Amino acid sequence: MATNGGQAVILRLAVPVPLRRLFDYLPPADTDPAQLVPGQRIWVPFGGRKLVAVLVDIVAESPLSELKPALELIDKRPLFDDRSRAFLRWAADYYQAPAGELYAAALPVALRKGRPADHWAEQWLQLTTEGKGLPHSALARAPKQQALRQLLLEHGRHSRTRLKELGHPTTATRALVDRGLAEWQSGPTVPPPIPAAEPAVPPQLNEEQQQVLAAVPGEGFSASLLEGTTGSGKTEVYLRLMQRALDRGQQALLLVPEIGLTPQTLRRIAARFPEHTIAALHSGLADGERARAWLAAASGQADIVIGTRSAILTPLPRPGVVLVDEEHDASFKQQDGVRYSARDLAVVLARNAGVPVLLGSATPSLESLHNALSGRYQHLRLRRRAGDAKPPQIHVVPTLGQQLEEGFAPQVLRHIGDTLARGEQALVFINRRGFAPALTCDDCGWLADCPHCSSKLTLHRRQRQLRCHHCDYRRPLVDSCPQCHSRSLSALGGGTERSEELLAGRFADFPVIRVDRDTTASKQALDRLLAPARAGEPCLLLGTQMLAKGHHLPRVTLVVIQDADGGLFSADFRAPERTGQLLEQVAGRAGRGELAGRVLVQSRFPEHPLLQLLLEKGYGAFARQLLRERTAAQLPPLRAMALVRAECEEPRWAEAFLEEARGHLEAMAPSSPQIQYLGPVPALLERKSGRYRFYLQVTAEQRGQLQPLLARLCQWAEGNRNRRLRWAVDMDAQELS
Ligand code: ADP
Ligand code: ZN
Ligand code: ZN
């Protein structure tokens, strides 16, 4: 057995399997125990397979007597430092997640598959002492070498990739190296620089912004909610807080929602910090790019880390500030696998690191608002729009009893026409993509259903397809009813594609730009699509919530919300909150420049009290009212909530599993005011991809009351031998669907 100073060496590993425990192994046969450091990756044999595990701890004793040796050490240096491992352990406990799966989620795919980190090392060119001391005239007759030397002298070492990008010929680099004036060194890679416009000069902060900045302590842990209307200058506050951390030599982490991380956002940050390396971590990257960006963040090469949800799991050696933009956004909660909330973990990370965290939004989640109103977070406000922009005027357009044209009231179409004629831009928000959400037979009433889900198929006319938006099932469009062969089929309701047809015909003199998942395969595509809008030409933008975020379009003066009613009558208690957030965010796109903005909201229920509150008093008052209702109904965020989920092709099995789960939970903690149970009940989307879905809801007065119960429930559930039944624990669940 391997020993170190006489002690046995046993490796405690996080292995990526769905079991909530660590696994003990012996060191690989040919590895010197002195090389082993927690945080390294290591190949292990597991159930006949070879897996990439992470070394979490080195111990001297194991409760097991027969240990297998691990196969091979992958990393020379650890990828996860002590703080990062402690953070991940906390998260695994809190979310009842298998540690191995959480480490796997923290790693970019290429590293998860065992690629050595050295693969992304780079060659760096730097001047030797002799090269630095050379008199200026010495290279007078070799201008290319001279230019290269000057660059290295003024800006320090450069990577081979960067030199190529800057157009320095390899002949010049070789000549400098041959003459002993420069030398190559291997070092960690850095991500390619983000093309920025001119380096930006920061604006003078307004008084509110100054107060906000003064309120965030420079050092030590503090949590703040920044509630600020769209366009009030929140991003400017983030930039200043980043600057503070950078000035102290620390890293700044900014989390953004999946659709908020646009090239425009990145350019804005890059323009402000031209001297600093930025690592951008998002789903649009190829595996290699993502690994490079991750390693730059984890090695400390990158000073600024901007990323979507999983960026919160990236180890940062010297964190200085944690920022979460659009903190209310649903994409911060992972909806399968390890169901963590990046926004909530941001607060935990900041607390562990002893640094400030700021959650920003124009439409804060009720969770964060509750934390702010109850004093757990500092509550900061920006009430006015920055610069000269004024808040938009909002008008409701009642649609009941009106002659609508493809869902639009005549006066709304008139306003759009007037806006374009004035040379301004209009934005139409439609919460549904495709041509129509249902296809039906006029003669027998047949409806096109998804064969795998309890939902209708959406008609996509341009592609001549019917598609399920839940499982992505697709079939060719039919010309006649499969049931009665009638050729009289109707598309019910409207989507972006249908509105585009109407609007493009009606306003043929202007570009009509449709933005939804079908027209924007990538972030770059979206950027290109929006180029005419950014250039300021009169145009009509129409699309889904992709249009609601992250785009600064100062010439949009009219925003139309085609249907405000969707979320007001849902069975999901969070639906009104989400509707309010979306409407406010979309409305906030109007009048962000010098021109005043107008918002037209179509509704069949203009008298609905929540809608009235939202439109008259704004999201702040609306959210506070919802919070009172949640309090009365004893729902989150007043109580902590976890769902135990089960799904199976055979509905009885899923239900029976949850009945049994409830029995176990009630045996440990009977129903009481502290702990309450509901269910099993079918999920809102009862059948998805062929499986029936149920959940059991557990709520508690205190979060801490749930953890021990759920931990023991997971131990029991891991014994489930029915391979066709899937189960999960969803702590702080966001979706009942
Ligand atoms: P938010 O993130 O709250 O939507 P931004 O930070 O993007 O707001 O600011 C909106 C616009 O106002 C941007 O064009 C920004 O450059 C500008 N801006 C922000 N702060 C100031 C300021 N203090 N003075 C002038 N313009 C500002
Ligand atoms: Zn029919
Ligand atoms: Zn489906």
Q: For residue 282, is pLDDT > 90?
A: no
CATH number at residue 108: 3.40.1440.60
| Residue range 256-263: mean pLDDT, rounded | 80
For ligand 1, atom 6: residue with the closest CA: 233
CATH number at residue 347: 3.40.50.300
Q: Give the tokens for residue 372.
A: 């702010």
Query: Which of the four pLDDT bands, split at 50, 70 and 90, describes residue 4?
Result: low
Q: Is the CB of 228 under 6 A from ligand 1?
A: yes
Establish if 480 belongs to a structural domain: no
3-state SS, residue 736: coil
Domain of residue 427: give its range.
393-434+494-632
Query: Which of the four pLDDT bands, split at 50, 70 and 90, describes residue 71?
Result: very high
Q: Is the CB of 229 under 6 A from ligand 1?
A: no
Establish if 41 belongs to a structural domain: yes
User: What strand order describes the sheet that includes 10-14?
Assistant: 23-25, 10-14, 49-59, 41-46, 72-73
| Residue range 54-64: mean pLDDT, rounded | 92
695 CA from centroid of ligand 3 (Å): 20
Same domain, 407 and 537: yes
In this prediction, residue 124 carries a pLDDT of: 82
Establish if 98 belongs to a structural domain: yes
In this prediction, residue 5 carries a pLDDT of: 64
DSSP state string for 553-586: -TTEEEEEES---GGGG-SSTTHHHHHHHHHHHH
Same domain, 578 and 701: no
Q: Which residue has the higher pLDDT, 502 or 2?
A: 502
Establish if 259 belongs to a structural domain: yes
Same domain, 82 and 11: yes
Q: Are 295 and 188 in contact (CB under 8 A)?
A: yes
CA atoms of 194 and 523, how far apart (whole Å): 14
Same domain, 590 and 690: no
Q: For residue 135, is pLDDT > 90?
A: no
Last residue of a domain, which of 605, 632, 659?
A: 632
On average, the pLDDT of the chain sits at 90
Same domain, 419 and 563: yes
Report the nearest atom of ligand 1 relative to the CA of 236. Answer: 6
| Residue range 229-246: mean pLDDT, rounded | 93
Q: For residue 656, is pLDDT > 70?
A: yes
| Residue range 511-516: mean pLDDT, rounded | 90
Which range has the top average pLDDT, 203-207, 321-325, 334-338, 461-465?
321-325
**Which of 198, 226, 235 should be mutated for ligand 1, with most atoms under 8 A from CB?**
235
Same domain, 724 and 708: yes
Which range has the top average pLDDT, 44-53, 63-72, 143-152, 293-302?
44-53
Establish if 567 belongs to a structural domain: yes
Question: From the CB of residue 700, how many other CB atoms can be counted at a distance below 10 Å?
Answer: 20
In this prediction, residue 153 carries a pLDDT of: 86
Establish if 425 belongs to a structural domain: yes
Q: Which residue has the higher pLDDT, 553 or 195?
A: 553
Query: Which of the four pLDDT bands, split at 50, 70 and 90, describes residue 570?
Result: confident
Q: What percent of the chain has pLDDT over 90?
A: 62
From the list 542, 435, 432, 562, the residue with the least C-alpha distance to 491 is 435
Ligand nearest to the CA of 236: 1
In this prediction, residue 356 carries a pLDDT of: 98
Same domain, 616 and 561: yes
Same domain, 411 and 544: yes
| Residue range 111-134: mean pLDDT, rounded | 86
Whose structure tokens read 């990538």? 522
Least confident of 121-130, 272-281, 300-309, 599-608: 121-130
Count the domains in the chain: 5
Report the nearest atom of ligand 1 relative to the CA of 239. Answer: 6
Ligand nearest to the CA of 553: 1
CA atoms of 190 and 278, how far apart (whole Å): 9
473 CA from centroid of ligand 3 (Å): 5
Same domain, 695 and 655: yes
233 CA from centroid of ligand 1 (Å): 4
Last residue of a domain, which of 599, 632, 665?
A: 632
For ligand 1, atom 26: residue with the closest CA: 387
Q: For residue 244, is pLDDT > 60?
A: yes
Q: Which residue has the higher pLDDT, 190 or 616?
A: 616
| Residue range 146-174: mean pLDDT, rounded | 85
In this prediction, residue 460 carries a pLDDT of: 93
In this prediction, residue 566 carries a pLDDT of: 77
Q: Which residue has the higher pLDDT, 528 or 352?
A: 352
In this prediction, residue 197 carries a pLDDT of: 63
| Residue range 362-375: mean pLDDT, rounded | 96
Q: Is the CB of 234 under 6 A from ligand 1?
A: yes
Q: Is the CB of 232 under 6 A from ligand 1?
A: yes
Establish if 561 belongs to a structural domain: yes
Q: Is the CB of 202 under 6 A from ligand 1?
A: no
Least confident of 135-144, 481-490, 690-699, 709-718: 135-144
CA atoms of 668 and 496, how far apart (whole Å): 51
| Residue range 657-676: mean pLDDT, rounded | 95
Least confident of 111-125, 446-460, 501-515, 696-710: 111-125
| Residue range 429-437: mean pLDDT, rounded | 90
CATH number at residue 126: 1.10.10
Same domain, 234 and 356: yes
Q: Tell me: the pLDDT tens digits for 581-616?
A: 988 888 888 877 777 788 999 999 988 888 889 888
Q: For residue 400, is pLDDT > 80?
A: yes
Query: Which of the four pLDDT bands, split at 50, 70 and 90, describes residue 729?
Result: very high
Same domain, 231 and 256: yes
Ligand nearest to the CA of 439: 2
Q: Name the phi and psi angles at 223, rounded to 5.
A: -120, 130
Query: Which of the four pLDDT bands, split at 50, 70 and 90, describes residue 650?
Result: very high
pTM (predicted TM-score): 0.89
Q: What percent of the chain has pLDDT over 70?
A: 96
CA atoms of 635 and 638, how far apart (whole Å): 6
Query: Which of the four pLDDT bands, split at 50, 70 and 90, describes residue 2?
Result: low
395 CA from centroid of ligand 2 (Å): 41
Whose structure tokens read 């998942």? 517
| Residue range 29-48: mean pLDDT, rounded | 94
Same domain, 87 and 145: no
Q: Give the tokens for residue 212.
A: 């906000």
Establish if 88 belongs to a structural domain: yes
Q: For residue 364, is pLDDT > 90?
A: yes
Element (H, E) at 293: helix 287-299
Last residue of a domain, which of 92, 113, 134?
A: 113
